[in-house]
């Protein structure tokens, strides 16, 4: 209940403040969360050690970890501001698409269904919101939150501009498949094992449980998969990269094809994460079962990161 109440307070306070003020508050909250959340901090550092390499300097890893906590706080600022956001102004002044006209819009026009396959990099929800300005409506599956009342509140914020959101589950997946078969667009995440089909796949050289559900859905429906990666830029900007459709291998062996094509997507993700590790906003340990790397020494008071 307390999370639900906090969200309501944030919607009516932070949600109405200018973006710069909200992001300034996120800087403070993110740094505090880094210091006060040792479990999440260890997970983030372990993830970064895999991405940045075991020989990456401690100071560089620590700086990236700090930014991840700050970027997560910025995500929540974006979320509570969403009902009050001027979508056309956001599209004109803060959002830049790469590949929208080249890849996404032609795939939508083909009418075979489109899966925008993204990851927890930057803020992909903002990139999806901007698609409304180009006439693209999306159905997105989201991670279930507890209590259900909180999940309904959060999804109502996400849906406030016109998209549709529903929790991952039997009903949500059934609706996603129906949307694809009707030629619609759905948005899915491909970097965290939440619910649904998964497989142990090599990711940055180590086995990790990764989702294969989005690929299986594409193989079963014939939908086009558009890899999508979102990055934060200065002054609150968002760059959304919609890449060339994933060329899916189809041998008739679902397990093999799901694995092969998921690895192709993970290869694209590895390149993006190497370039921007500090924007991978994941607090859970991706490599469960892999020994956690030693945490960098604590920051001294006044030390720059």
pLDDT at residue 297 tops 60: no
Cβ atoms of 99 and 243 closer than 8 Å: yes
> What pTM was estimated for this model as a whole?
0.92
CB under 8 Å to 176, separation ≥6 — which residues? Answer: 139, 141, 186, 188, 217
Q: How far apart are CA 122 and CA 124, in angstroms?
A: 6
Task: Work out the mean pLDDT of the chain and round it to a whole number.
Answer: 92
Break the chain into its structural domains and give their ranges: 86-279
User: For residue 16, what is the DSSP state?
Assistant: G
Architecture category of domain 86-279 in CATH: 3-Layer(aba) Sandwich (3.40)
Predicted pLDDT at 289: 54
Residue 247 Cα distances to 44, 147, 215, 254, angstroms: 32, 39, 11, 15
User: For residue 204, what is the DSSP state?
Assistant: T
Question: Under DSSP, is residue 167 helix (H, G, I), strand (E, B) or coil?
Answer: strand
The per-residue pLDDT for range 133-180, each reduced to its tens digit, is 999 999 999 999 999 999 999 999 999 999 999 999 999 999 999 999
Give the Cβ contact number of residue 200 at 10 Å. Answer: 12
């Amino acid at each position: 209940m307390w999370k639900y109440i906090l969200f309501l307070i944030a919607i009516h306070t932070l949600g109405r403040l200018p973006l710069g003020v909200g992001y300034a508050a996120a800087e403070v909250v993110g740094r505090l969360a880094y210091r006060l959340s040792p479990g999440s901090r260890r997970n983030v550092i372990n993830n970064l050690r895999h991405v940045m390499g075991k020989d990456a300097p401690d100071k560089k890893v620590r700086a990236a970890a700090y930014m991840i906590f700050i970027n997560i706080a910025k995500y929540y600022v974006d979320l509570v501001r969403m009902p009050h956001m001027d979508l056309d102004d956001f599209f004109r002044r803060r959002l830049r698409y790469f590949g929208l006209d080249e890849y996404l819009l032609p795939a939508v026009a083909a009418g075979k269904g489109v899966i925008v396959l993204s990851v927890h990099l930057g803020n992909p929800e903002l990139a999806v919101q901007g698609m409304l300005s180009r006439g693209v409506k999306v159905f997105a599956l989201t991670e279930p939150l507890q209590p259900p009342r909180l999940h309904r509140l959060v999804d109502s914020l996400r849906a406030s501009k016109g998209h549709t959101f529903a929790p991952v589950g039997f009903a949500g997946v059934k609706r996603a498949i129906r949307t694809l078969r009707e030629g619609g667009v759905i948005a899915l995440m491909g970097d965290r094992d939440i619910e649904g089909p998964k497989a142990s796949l090599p990711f940055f050289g180590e086995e990790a449980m990764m989702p294969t559900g989005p690929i299986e859905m594409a193989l079963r429906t014939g939908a086009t998969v558009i890899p999508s990666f979102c990055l934060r830029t200065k002054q609150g900007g968002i760059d959304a990269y919609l890449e060339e459709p994933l060329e899916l291998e189809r041998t008739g062996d679902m397990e093999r094809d799901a694995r092969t094509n998921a690895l192709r997507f993970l290869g694209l993700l590895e390149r993006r994460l190497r370039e921007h590790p500090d924007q991978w906003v994941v607090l859970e340990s991706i490599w469960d079962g892999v020994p956690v790397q030693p945490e960098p020494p604590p920051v001294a008071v006044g030390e720059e990161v």
